[in-house]
Structure formats: structure tokens, C-alpha cells
Amino acid sequence: MSTINDVRMLEFKEHGDERGYLVVVEGERDLPFKIQRLFYIYGSDSKVVRGQHANRNSEFVLINVAGTSKIKIKDGLGNEIIFCLNRPHTGVYLPAMVWKDMYDFSEDAVLLCIASEHYDENEYIRDYDTFVREVTKQGER
């Protein structure tokens, strides 16, 4: 079972020359999973909190390809970590079953989210108390 200790920053190689930069992210090579889906978030501002859910199965890597945002990750057992996503060649890896809040978006923020699973609303836990109950139950097994 993965834990909040598996959350980590990933650094991707910047291929830079006089024309600018190019960053490559390959599934199973630069990320610890096969890519099944990606989506991106923009037009959020500093007052908005997105996420506010956990996923039973999906793992993610989040990259601010433009602008900046913050992500707070909680394990439901009292531990939390905050990352500032502010460079287009770094991402944060999130295992399944962690609670995430994304906030403090800069006006120009484009947050790219790469996922290990196709979309399935049934694997989303959108109620924090339910998340804590499921995490606690998992720990007792």
C-alpha cells in the first residue's frame, strides 16, 4: 500500500537551446505509471480551491506548465505536505488514496494533470470523513 511518503517531486530534463525549451514526459520512464489520461486546469484564481478529493485507484503527476499553484496533500491520518508548483520541468507525484487540494493559482496558471487511469467518477472520494474512514479501515487490514 502506498503512503504519503511516496509523494515526491519529479524533475524532467529540459532540452534547451537558443530556440527555447522542450520537456519530455514519457509514461513508465519519467513517471512511475503508464499514462491513461491527461487533463489540464486553467482560469482558476487565487481564491479558488480545486481538487478536494482522493482517488481510490488513480495515481497522478501534476505539473504547472505555466504559472504557479500550490498543492496540499493529506493522508487522512494527520500528516500533510504542501508543494509549490512553479517550474514547467518539475512535477509532483501523487499515489492513490491521498487527499489533495490545489489552490493559490496565479492568473496565468495551467496545471497539467497526468493520470494512471481513465476517468471513473466511482473511484473519487469527495467527502473528507469518508476518506478518513476508508484510510483507517485500510490500515486495520
For 13, 29, 42, 112, the CA distances from 106, given in Å and listed in that order, are 24, 30, 9, 14
Is 51 or 95 the residue whose CB approaches ligand TYD more closely?
51
- Please identify which residue in 119, 130, 136, 139 interacts with ligand TYD, judged by CB under 6 A: 119
- Please identify which residue in 7, 41, 73, 112 interacts with ligand TYD, judged by CB under 6 A: 41
H helical segments located in the chain: 128-140
- Please identify which residue in 7, 51, 71, 94 interacts with ligand TYD, judged by CB under 6 A: 51
Instruction: Please give the residues from 9 up to 38 whose contact with ligand TYD meets the rule CB under 6 A.
Output: 37
Cβ-Cβ contacts under 8 Å for 130 (sequence gap 6 or more): none
Taking the complex as a whole, the smallest distance from the CB of residue 33 to ligand TYD amounts, in Å, to 15
Q: Which three cell numbers stand for residue 23?
A: 520537456
Please provide the size of the chain in residues. Answer: 141
Q: State how far the Cα of 130 lies from the Cα of 84, in Å rounded to an integer.
A: 27
Taking the complex as a whole, the smallest distance from the CB of residue 77 to ligand TYD amounts, in Å, to 22
Q: State how far the Cα of 105 lies from the Cα of 128, in Å rounded to an integer.
A: 22
Is 53 one of the catalytic residues? Answer: yes
Is 50 or 72 the residue whose CB approaches ligand TYD more closely?
50
Tell me which residues are annotated as active site: 53
Question: Which residues in this chain contact ligand TYD in the complex, by CB under 6 A?
Answer: 37, 39, 41, 50-51, 119
